[in-house]
């Protein structure tokens, strides 16, 4: 056993030496010759460990990444296989790095501003201090929303559906418990029961942090491509950040864009009642005073508008996503029932209205059918109608 361990450590040191020699300018053929003589059968895990050791010893992550093509040829290995095991969370600005930084923020907030003071919650000034900390903790919704709307869709595309659903269910439990605890404290409750409930909430959040870093991240690293990580990074701003990003990350082999994307290609869209260019239609839809989302007949998200006053977060990663996966487990049955009723013809529309963040939100679902009545999909229309409800009297003149 000791001989095996020593041999493994020796090979790790030699792998490190090879990467360093490549970095210092040795040719691929020189390194390949050394590899063939000494390292036949080396595993991707050992390569990954060696690279991580180099990073820990001070070689910049970017340098190791820049050598990918070179040492992949030398190792006769798959870059995807090798780097699925590299700890990308150490790369400043990488979404995995940001996720872990936000977890540090969350855990520190709980450890420093809530847990030590719960025993004195009956003191008015401590009660207000804890309430403010819980209000800051409620920003965890940003962290969870990025996970649910940016990371989970990619896992689902790779056939991994159970872990995201379980995590989303726990996320909603945290949201609900946090909201309930804040309301109870505001109403004056300061006894042992509220202390116990808060401690249980903190434990649940800490356990989720562990699951994110030891279950979720490894799955993402194993399956996601560089470009998929880049999409997550680009779309994160739509939802927000708990902490300032530690850097700007770019994929190792990012391809230069030609500047021409599908939505900018010249083209004419002819409709029964008129004609649009692609640019005109894009901006017309975005100018609507409400959000629209279209789910096709196969229950896949097909389109959403991008107006200035978005009510619910929408990111491009949801395009092609199963609509049932776009909703928390606790409410997914409602969504599935709505879609089933519209698809079957039992209903043509369904409406809901809720109060949220000082807004009064009207959510409407419409069946979309062709001239023969064939179901094409469902259109969701979401609007803050509070300003409309407040309209009184008449307005007949142009505002000055």
> Is residue 318 predicted with pLDDT exceeding 70?
yes
pLDDT value at residue 63 = 57
pLDDT value at residue 60 = 61
pLDDT value at residue 163 = 82
pLDDT value at residue 296 = 96
Q: Which of the four pLDDT bands, split at 50, 70 and 90, describes residue 297?
A: very high
Q: Which of the four pLDDT bands, split at 50, 70 and 90, describes residue 81?
A: very low
For 382, list phi and psi in degrees, rounded to 5.
-125, 130
pLDDT value at residue 258 = 46
pLDDT (tens digit per residue) in 32-59? 677 666 656 555 445 555 655 666 666 6
Question: How far is residue 397's CA from residue 400's CA, in Å, rounded to a whole number?
Answer: 9
How would DSSP label each residue in 228-256? Answer: HHHHHHHHHHHH--SS--SS----TTPPP
Q: Is 203 exposed, middle or buried (0-12, 13-18, 19+ CB in 10 A)?
A: exposed
> Is residue 128 predicted with pLDDT exceeding 50?
yes
> Is residue 234 predicted with pLDDT exceeding 70?
yes
In eight-state DSSP terms, residue 89 is G
pLDDT value at residue 76 = 46
Percent of all residues in the chain with a pLDDT value above 90, rounded to a whole number = 48
pLDDT value at residue 115 = 95
Question: How far is residue 150's CA from residue 317's CA, in Å, rounded to a whole number?
Answer: 6
CA 221 to chain centre: 13
Which residues of the chain form beta strands (DSSP E)?
Answer: 268-271, 274-277, 291-296, 301-304, 349-356, 359-369, 375-384
Mean pLDDT of 304-312: 87
Higher local confidence (pLDDT), 108 or 68:
108
pLDDT value at residue 61 = 54
**Both tokens of residue 376?**
């094409």
Mean pLDDT of 162-168: 85
Q: Which residues contact 394 (CB under 8 A, 6 or more apart)?
A: none
pLDDT value at residue 41 = 57
Q: Which of the four pLDDT bands, split at 50, 70 and 90, describes residue 222?
A: confident
Q: Which residues contact 323 (CB under 8 A, 6 or more apart)?
A: 295, 299, 300, 301, 335, 339, 378
Closest CA to 311 of 357, 377, 351: 357
| Start-to-end Cα distance in the chain | 86
> Is residue 73 predicted with pLDDT exceeding 80?
no
Tell me the chain's radius of gyration from C-alpha atoms. 27
Picking from 126-130, 174-178, 259-263, 378-382, which range would have the lowest pLDDT averaged per residue? 259-263
In eight-state DSSP terms, residue 300 is B
> Is residue 331 predicted with pLDDT exceeding 90?
no
- The kind and range of the H/E element at 47 are helix 44-56
Q: Which of the four pLDDT bands, split at 50, 70 and 90, describes residue 185?
A: very high
How would DSSP label each residue in 116-181? Answer: GGGGGTTSHHHHHHHHHHHHHHTTHHHHHHHIIIIIHHHHHHTT--HHHHHHHHHHHHHHHHHHHH
Q: Which of the four pLDDT bands, split at 50, 70 and 90, describes residue 109?
A: very high
**Both tokens of residue 221?**
């690293």
Encode burial over 244-276: b for 16+ CB neighbours within 10 A, e otherwise.
Answer: ebeeebeebeeeeeeeeeeeeeeeeeeeeeeeb
For 300, list phi and psi in degrees, rounded to 5.
-105, 135
Distances (CA, A) of 221 to 19, 70, 214, 353: 22, 21, 11, 39
> Is residue 1 predicted with pLDDT exceeding 80?
no
């Amino acid at each position: 056993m000791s001989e095996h361990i020593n041999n493994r450590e020796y090979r790790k040191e030699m792998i490190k030496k090879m990467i360093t020699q490549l970095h210092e300018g040795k040719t691929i053929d020189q390194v390949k010759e050394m590899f063939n003589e000494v390292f036949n059968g080396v595993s991707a895990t050992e390569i990954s460990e060696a690279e991580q050791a180099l990073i820990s010893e001070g070689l910049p992550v970017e340098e190791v990444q820049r050598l990918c093509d070179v040492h992949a040829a030398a190792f006769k290995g798959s870059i995807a296989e090798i780097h699925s095991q590299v700890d990308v969370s150490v790369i400043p600005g990488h979404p995995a790095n940001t996720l872990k930084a936000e977890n540090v923020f969350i855990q520190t907030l709980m450890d420093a501003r809530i847990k030590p003071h719960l025993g004195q919650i009956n003191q008015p000034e401590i009660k207000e201090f804890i309430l403010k900390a819980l209000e800051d903790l409620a920003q965890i919704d940003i962290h969870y929303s990025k996970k649910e709307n940016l990371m989970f869709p990619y896992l689902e595309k790779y056939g991994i559906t159970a872990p995201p659903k379980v995590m989303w269910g726990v996320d909603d439990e945290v949201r609900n418990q946090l909201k309930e605890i804040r309301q109870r404290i505001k109403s004056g409750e300061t006894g042992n029961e509220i202390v116990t409930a808060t401690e249980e909430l903190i434990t649940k959040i800490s356990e989720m942090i562990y699951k994110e870093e030891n279950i979720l991240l490894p799955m993402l690293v194993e399956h996601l491509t560089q470009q998929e990580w880049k999409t997550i990074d680009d779309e994160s701003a739509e939802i927000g950040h708990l902490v300032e990003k530690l850097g700007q990350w770019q994929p190792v082999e990012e391809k230069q864009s030609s500047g021409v994307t599908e939505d900018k290609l010249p083209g004419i869209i002819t409709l029964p009642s008129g004609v649009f260019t692609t640019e005109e239609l894009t901006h017309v839809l975005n100018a609507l005073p409400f959000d629209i989302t279209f789910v096709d007949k196969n229950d896949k998200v097909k389109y959403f508008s991008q107006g200035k006053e978005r009510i619910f977060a929408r990111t491009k990663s949801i395009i092609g996503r199963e609509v049932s996966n776009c909703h928390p487990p606790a409410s997914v049955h409602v969504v599935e029932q709505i879609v089933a009723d519209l698809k079957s013809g039992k209903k043509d529309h369904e409406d809901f209205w809720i109060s949220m963040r000082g807004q009064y939100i009207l959510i409407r679902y419409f069946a979309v059918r062709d001239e023969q009545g064939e179901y094409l999909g469902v259109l969701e229309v979401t609007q803050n109608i509070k300003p409309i409800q407040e309209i009184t009297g008449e307005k007949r003149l142009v505002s000055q």
